[in-house]
Amino acid sequence: MTQQNDNLVEIVKERYGRIAQTGTSSCCEPTCCATSEDLGYQESDLAAVPAEANLGLGCGAPIEPLELRRGETVLDLGSGAGIDVFLAARLVGSQGRAIGVDMTPEMLSRARANAVKGGYTNVEFREGRLEALPVSEGTVDAVTSNCVINLVPDKEAVFREIYRVLKPGGRLVISDIVLDGKLPEAVEKNILAYVGCVSGALLRDRYFELVRRAGLTEIEILKDVDFLAAAGQEEAFGNVEEVRGKVRSITFRARKPS
């Protein structure tokens, strides 16, 4: 990994650690705040998990279309304060397992406290990087992630790791940010935009090229939303016309071949 990538990882880690400690995503700044139902959860979802698990950092709601079944093992990449892990845990039941992986100690501490508060006995939170998951090969039925992979400089490594940990025939549903056009140079260089999930995003074709290159197949787009418009943040990035329609919140499904 290059020095620049290392620096970006440390900046992301520091900022999300601060969010975990304060309990707020500081949405007055450009950030991945799920401020509309187009980007986030239904009220019934939020009512089913500890309130402290929702930090408003997602750009979708990937758990329902993952179609989890009792007894399955599900893995959440960049699990944060635990909201998707807890939603998944309810669906896989006591015979299943919901595992969250996050690189930020403060987020892991918050998630583990939320697990205790919610009485979850079938969840586990592990510290690790998405490019080198602390998960054994071929042990996971389903993988999910919510607006996190775009923050990782080496996205190709993440998709390779997803392929590695999935069982044959295993599936994934991921919400993430992709671009339908090049962003203004000032936005690309803005670190707040990076940790807010925007300037770290790839062009759509390149993103799905990496998904396919990892060996994942049956790619299906389930949702495609103008992220900045839905989050009410177009003006935060300067000239609205230069960014309008380019930053997309997508939710997609794919599978590891049997």
Mean pLDDT for the stretch of residues 36-57:
80
Amino acid letter for position 44: S
Q: What is the mean pLDDT of residues 139-158?
A: 95
The pLDDT of 173-189, averaged and rounded, is 88
Question: What is each CA distance from 213 to 19, 162, 210, in whole angstroms?
Answer: 34, 12, 5
Residue 171 pLDDT exceeds 70: yes
Work out the number of other CB atoms within 10 angstroms of the CB of residue 258.
7
Percentage of the chain beyond pLDDT 90 is 59
Distance CA 146, CA 95 (A): 24
pLDDT of residue 100 exceeding 60, the answer is yes
Q: For residue 172, give the H/E element and its range.
A: strand 166-179
When pLDDT is averaged across residues 107-117 and rounded to a whole number, the result is: 94
State residue 238's pLDDT score: 67
Q: What is the mean pLDDT of the chain?
A: 87
Q: Which pLDDT belongs to residue 192?
A: 67
Distances (CA, A) of 56 to 25, 39, 40, 215: 7, 10, 8, 32
Task: Note the pLDDT of residue 26.
Answer: 44
Q: Which residues of 203-230 are buried (b: 16+ CB within 10 A; e: fewer)?
A: ebeebbebbeebebeeeeeebebbbbbb
Cα gap 158→167, rounded to integer Å? 16
Domains of the chain, CATH where assigned: 3-255 (3.40.50.150)
Q: How far apart are CA 127 and CA 124, in angstroms?
A: 10
Are 65 and 91 within 8 A, CB to CB? no
pLDDT band at 28 (very low <50, low <70, confident <90, very high): very low
The segment with the largest mean pLDDT, out of 49-53, 124-128, 152-156, is 124-128
Phi/psi at 139 (5° precision): -115, 0
The model's pLDDT over 218-254, given as tens digits with 9 standing for 90+, comes to 999 999 999 888 877 766 666 677 888 888 999 999 9
pLDDT confidence of 204, banded at 50, 70, 90?
A: very high
Indicate the pLDDT class of residue 2, thresholds 50, 70 and 90.
Answer: low
- For 129, other C-beta atoms within 10 Å of its C-beta total 20
pLDDT of residue 194: 62
Nearest to 145 by CA among 249, 51, 218: 249
Q: What element of type H or E holds 250?
A: strand 247-255
Residue 36 clears pLDDT 60, i.e. is over it = no
- Residue 254 amino acid letter: A
* Greater model confidence, 14 or 1: 14
Q: Which of 26-40, 93-107, 237-251 has the lowest mean pLDDT?
A: 26-40
pLDDT 10s digits, 189-202: 776 676 667 878 89
| pLDDT higher than threshold 70 for residue 185 | yes
Residue 236's pLDDT is: 67
Using CA atoms, how far apart are residues 91 and 94, in angstroms rounded to an integer? 9
- Whether 24 shows a pLDDT value over 70: the answer reads no
User: For the chain, percent helix, then strand, then coil, each to nearest 5?
Assistant: 40, 25, 40
Q: What is the pLDDT of residue 20?
A: 61
